[in-house]
Chains A and B, each alone.
Chain A
């Protein structure tokens, strides 16, 4: 008897659970028992953010260093720049992160008002290749790279490549282009560069996180592109600097706007940011491209990566934590950047940004 009653109770309990999805408003008890929405979104952390995968290694180092120092916990999910932009637009995270600046359209859709683009570190794309018999670093120019990726230059011993690399024995084999198949900030920066240096590219594929590639194969992620290049003779592609350094891939020197052939190094990337921002002045909103930047030492395929923060914060406690963290990142945080193959911001930029932190205000709402 008791057993059957217990069973009946269990069963009704299960049924009510099963129905709860449809009639959640009728069960105030269970609603009260569930955690409040605010704590549900932060999941135990003081701040939550989501977005770009490219800066994830440095961000996680920053967040763990910062937590050790101040006890403020920051939870970051590297779901991709697109996801970061969507989540900050909806206001489901305290900050977003992106490798490409938000467009005016995307800015307009943000529910919490104007979004401040806060550059954190710099990265670069490098051109890597697998040409049998070539051991030295190839020299390339922007329009040659663009024409290779447009399929106009088809052979490795094309006079336009050979002319830039006197003394290098180039084979008469086909060039096979490898690009990213997944949408990525890496592709955005690369196509941004090709758009800046080649009118044919600008009017053709254009710049985006994923474009219509005229030729070549798609590899998923930096590892997919690099794997394909390592495995296949005659290939050329682009990957992030950090990835190329860690895997000791051959990289090309590129001719920059000043006419110099520059290798991708931390110094040459920082130089690109300094050169580009000198022209812009302190009133910039930092939604800027720094590809093909002026300056004799500037590496041409460099880019910022950004944290996306609402200028008007709803929660004053969180706003203070966020501003404190950003201040720490700009001062102490930048010191640990180059160990992970990112380039630190030029000093003039971090100084400007420290002043701009004051423009993040806490709203009176809550």
Chain B
């Protein structure tokens, strides 16, 4: 192979000016290639090291409690008993609540901005919605304690439990104090909304004009055009935006810690306090001195890592399936 390449270089070397340039860029090419390869490999290697490090630190706790670490609700540091089930449950439930509230809202914002909004309104509204992402999470937490929770406690929660039929279910049971799964889910919804709406907006705007015109030419109303031609075309991108929001909801720490009540209990009621994995680590890591306690917190980190990987994998699969459907 190299012999085949050599004459190519030498023949061109006849022309002096070009020859040096080719030689120089050949070295540059290979250096550049190795450099980018290094960067590209660096990230997976880093990820691997993080996984190994967290896994190794988590091992003593996982060995001591086995599968029970995932299913037990007992978290008792002075007696060295650790079970993370409430935190795992809380992480997943609060994220689901957040997505259930944020997704329709964010999609509505995105569709309005891309299809209906007059151009003088589009930029300011998009900017303000995006600005939600710039607010520090501790500010969300404070706002939650001083505004959202009193509002929930005095108005929203009594209203929900007073609803016919669903108000009597286990979902809305128990005293309404404020700190609860519901308030954590709501604050997360507000925090992930700008991510979903920004991605969805961009994707919807990128739908070709011809797609819209074709639908209209076939006699579709504006609603039919959006529902049947524009949104399905942008579906995989929208799912990607939702996944981005989900990733943020799973890992959010500060605002959730301030609002969820931090109690190691699994309750069906959305009014009851709970815990999340990220909050648990943030709450206890600084003051944990026992070896098993530290290891248990690392194990919670490892579980969060795995849950995030699974969710991301599911999401990739979903995007892949959706985009394949759209093509066919």
Contacts and interface: CB of A to CB of B under 8 A. Distances in A.
Do these two chains interact? yes
B31 A183 contact: no
B79 A206 contact: yes
B77 A210 contact: yes
Interface in A61-85: 79-83, 85
A86 B289 CA distance: 7
Contacts of B149: 231
Contacts of A208: 77-78
B27 A8 contact: yes
Contact of A176 (B31, B32, B177, B282): B177
Given A15-B31, A212-B74, A231-B149, A218 B261 contact: yes
B289 A106 contact: yes
Interface string B19-59: 01100110110011011001100100000000000000000
B273 A217 contact: yes
A147 to B, nearest CB: 19
B289 A210 contact: no
A174 interface: yes
A198 B95 CA distance: 40
Contact of B284 (A5, A106, A182, A213): A182
A228 B153 CA distance: 12
Contacts of A231: 145-146, 149-150, 178
B287 interface: yes
B13 to A, nearest CB: 15
Nearest to B32: A11
Contacts of B39: 18
Interface stretch (A219-227, A290-298, A300-308, A353-361): A219-227
A218 B283 contact: yes
A81 to B, nearest CB: 6
A11 B35 CA distance: 7
A112 interface: no
A15 B35 CA distance: 6
A1 interface: yes
B24 A224 contact: no
A331 interface: no
A81 B179 CA distance: 27
B94 interface: no
B257 interface: yes
A183 B25 contact: no
Contacts of A224: 145, 258
B264 interface: yes
Contacts of B224: none
A187 to B, nearest CB: 9
Interface in A155-191: 174, 176, 181-185
Which interface class (under 10, 10 to 19, 20 to 34, 35 or more) fits B? Answer: 35 or more
Contacts of A82: 286-289
Contacts of B27: 8
A250 interface: no
Contacts of B284: 182-183, 210
B104 interface: no
A207 interface: yes
Given A8-B31, A176-B177, A18 B78 contact: no
B28 A207 contact: no
Contacts of B175: 174
B24 A1 contact: yes
A12 interface: yes
A328 interface: no
Contacts of B262: 181, 217-220
B28 A211 contact: no
Nearest to B145: A227
B95 to A, nearest CB: 20
B179 A228 contact: yes
A34 B231 CA distance: 56
A211 B283 contact: no
A130 to B, nearest CB: 12
A205 B78 contact: yes
A79 B75 CA distance: 23
In order of increasing CB-CB distance, the 5 nearest A-B pairs are: A183-B287, A218-B262, A181-B262, A80-B286, A208-B78
Interface of A: 1, 4-5, 7-8, 11-12, 14-15, 18-19, 79-83, 85-86, 106, 174, 176, 181-185, 205-213, 216-220, 224, 227-228, 231-232
23 contacts: A1-B21, A8-B24, A8-B28, A11-B31, A11-B32, A12-B31, A79-B286, A80-B287, A81-B287, A82-B289, A205-B78, A209-B287, A210-B288, A212-B264, A217-B179, A218-B261, A218-B263, A218-B273, A227-B146, A228-B145, A231-B149, A231-B178, A232-B178
